[in-house]
Structure 1
Amino acid sequence: MSMSWKARRRWSILILVVGLPVYILVAWVVMSLIPRPPILVELLIYAALGIVWALPFKAIFKGVGKADPDAAPEDAPR
């Protein structure tokens, strides 16, 4: 069963407002616990962490930026 557009939109906002900052803090703490790697390796790690967080949520974010597909068209005559 797939989620409605409204539900996906609400979940995506929650993920971006709450989940992403928590993920950033966790990544920051984990990176501070390991010895500092060379700058290019560190840059690659942060780039990978920046991509990896969104992969599980791909289905939720898909199409959220577009208009509601279930809504009635605004230009339709009544």
Structure 2
Amino acid sequence: MALSYKARRRWSLVILLVGLPAYIVAAVTVVNWFDRPPIAVEFLIYVVLGIVWALPFKFVFRGVGQADPDAKDQ
């Protein structure tokens, strides 16, 4: 079932305002459980985690910044 444009916009806001901060807290907590790695390794971990969070939500964010394709021209 495909989401409508309005539903994708709403879900993208929820993901960015609630999900992303929760993911950041979880990622920092998990990295802190281990002894502090060298700064380059820690940077690489955060870069990878920063990319990985968006992959499952790619379909939600696709086209959200564009004009509503279902809106009638005025």
TM-score of the pair, normalised by structure 1: 0.92
CA distance in 2 between partners of 1:38 and 1:29 (Å)? 17
Q: Which residue of 2 aligns with 1:38?
A: 38
- The structure having more radius of gyration, on CA atoms, is 1
Q: How many residues align?
A: 74
* Structure 1 portions without partners, runs of 5+: none
Return the letter of the residue paired with 1:68. D
Q: Which runs of 4+ in 1 moved over 2 A?
A: none
CA distance in 1 between partners of 2:17 and 2:6 (Å)? 17
* Structure 2 portions without partners, runs of 5+: none
Q: Which residue of 2 aligns with 1:48?
A: 48
- What per-residue deviation string (whole Å, max 9, x for no partner) do you get for residues 15-46 of structure 1? 00000000000001101111111111111000
Q: Which residue of 2 aligns with 1:23?
A: 23
RMSD over aligned Cα atoms: 0.6
CA distance in 1 between partners of 2:21 and 2:29 (Å)? 12
